[in-house]
């Protein structure tokens, strides 16, 4: 019974951590139709900024990291991705090469600017509690609750605000959105900024629970992308459902499989799901 409860708790926690970059990928792709493979590396770069200023003021350091993620996502979209999109439209291979190159650039910048290849962010532990006999740190619980809060906030913004309605119109019919006067370039840039900020938040939380390295960004991006596709890329709710499933697989797989086999099982399940449901568990208005 204890193993079952521990597996469930750890699975939910892992889903919460992985769910943050998944939301970032879903926001960017759902709005722009662009898969930004640099989101994880931008997130790690921003997390290193948080780490650098951590000794001065924890809250300020986190805000600086999140602001850096948003600013970089916004500027990259305005200065590079949107102009290329206007010329080449849905050329996914081109955007794959561009954003992967951007990711490598940010890995290089992180290596040059910051002196340590491996860091850990000492965020407040927020105490601990025992749930059904399983000890749980406050930070892990906070990560899960924060993901739920972000999910609700994004849903409210998308369904109840004018900005959210313009996002939905842009994602559903770009040409018609331009005709009715929506600034689609601004919508793309804000969505990209929010997506990269979520990637930064995911990297910061990851660095508070595990070690953060120069390659962590690519790991988070690839895992997040796979989960997003399984859920229905661009579908935020679908991404969260897929993150929960994958979190449970990772958690319970740890009891029955060695570390290398966990990846085999995880991506094997993803492949089967995509063969049976090419648009993901809950589907998507866009297709990859």
Q: Is the pLDDT reported for residue 8 higher than 70?
A: yes
Q: What is the mean pLDDT of residues 95-114?
A: 92
The pLDDT mean for the chain works out to 79
pLDDT at 96: 84
Q: Is the pLDDT reported for residue 6 higher than 60?
A: yes
81 φ, ψ (degrees, to nearest 5): -70, -45
Alpha carbons 56 and 236: distance in angstroms, whole number:
35
pLDDT confidence band for 61 (50 / 70 / 90) = very high
pLDDT confidence band for 186 (50 / 70 / 90) = confident
SS3 state of residue 121? coil
Rounded alpha-carbon distances, angstroms, from residue 250 to 130, 221, 242, 245: 22, 17, 12, 9
Q: Do the Cβ atoms of 11 and 140 come closer than 8 Å?
A: no
Give the number of other CB atoms < 10 A from CB of residue 88: 12
Strands, DSSP E only, in 122-163?
128-131, 134-137
Strands, DSSP E only, in 88-223?
118-119, 128-131, 134-137, 212-213
Cβ neighbours of residue 121 closer than 8 Å, sequence gap 6 or more = 47, 50, 51, 54, 204, 207, 208, 212
pLDDT at 102: 94
Q: Is the pLDDT reported for residue 88 higher than 70?
A: no
Higher pLDDT, 231 or 114: 114
The CATH class, in words, for 2-276 is mainly alpha
pLDDT confidence band for 154 (50 / 70 / 90) = confident
pLDDT confidence band for 163 (50 / 70 / 90) = low
Q: Where are the chain's structural domains?
A: 2-276
pLDDT at 99: 92
pLDDT confidence band for 46 (50 / 70 / 90) = very high
Alpha carbons 87 and 185: distance in angstroms, whole number:
13
pLDDT confidence band for 17 (50 / 70 / 90) = confident
Contacts 24+ apart (CB under 8 A), 228-232: 228/22, 228/25, 228/26, 228/29, 229/270, 229/274, 229/280, 229/288, 230/270, 230/273, 230/274, 230/280, 230/281, 231/22, 231/26, 231/280, 231/281, 231/282, 232/279, 232/280, 232/281, 232/282, 232/283, 232/284
pLDDT at 129: 66
pLDDT at 64: 95
Higher pLDDT, 143 or 19: 19
Residue appearing with tokens 């860091």: 119
Q: Is the pLDDT reported for residue 287 higher than 60?
A: no
Q: What is the mean pLDDT of residues 128-155?
A: 70
């Amino acid at each position: 019974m204890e193993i079952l409860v521990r597996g469930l708790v750890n699975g939910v926690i892992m889903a919460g951590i992985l769910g943050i970059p998944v939301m970032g990928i879903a926001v960017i792709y759902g709005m722009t139709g662009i898969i930004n493979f640099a989101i994880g590396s931008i997130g790690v770069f921003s997390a290193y900024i948080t780490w650098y200023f951590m000794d001065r003021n924890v809250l300020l350091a986190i805000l600086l990291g999140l602001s850096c993620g948003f600013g970089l996502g916004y500027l990259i979209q305005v200065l590079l991705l949107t102009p290329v999109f206007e010329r080449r439209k849905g050329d996914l291979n081109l955007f794959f090469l561009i954003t992967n190159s951007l990711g490598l650039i940010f890995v290089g910048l992180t290596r040059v600017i910051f002196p340590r290849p491996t860091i850990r962010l000492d965020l407040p532990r927020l105490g601990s509690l025992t749930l059904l006999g399983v000890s749980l740190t406050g930070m892990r619980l906070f990560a899960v609750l924060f993901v739920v809060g972000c999910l609700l906030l994004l849903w409210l913004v998308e369904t109840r605000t004018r900005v959210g309605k313009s996002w939905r119109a842009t994602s559903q019919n770009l040409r018609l959105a331009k005709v009715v006067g929506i600034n689609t370039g601004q919508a793309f840039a804000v969505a990209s900024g929010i997506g990269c900020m979520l990637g930064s938040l995911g990297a910061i939380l990851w660095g508070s629970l595990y070690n953060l390295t120069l390659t962590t960004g690519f790991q988070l991006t690839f895992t997040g992308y796979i989960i997003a596709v399984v859920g229905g890329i661009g579908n935020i709710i679908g991404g969260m459902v897929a993150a929960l499933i994958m979190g449970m697989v990772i958690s319970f797989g740890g009891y029955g499989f060695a570390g290398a086999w966990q990846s085999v099982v995880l991506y094997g399940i993803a492949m089967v799901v995509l063969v049976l449901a090419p648009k993901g568990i809950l589907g998507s208005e866009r297709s990859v």
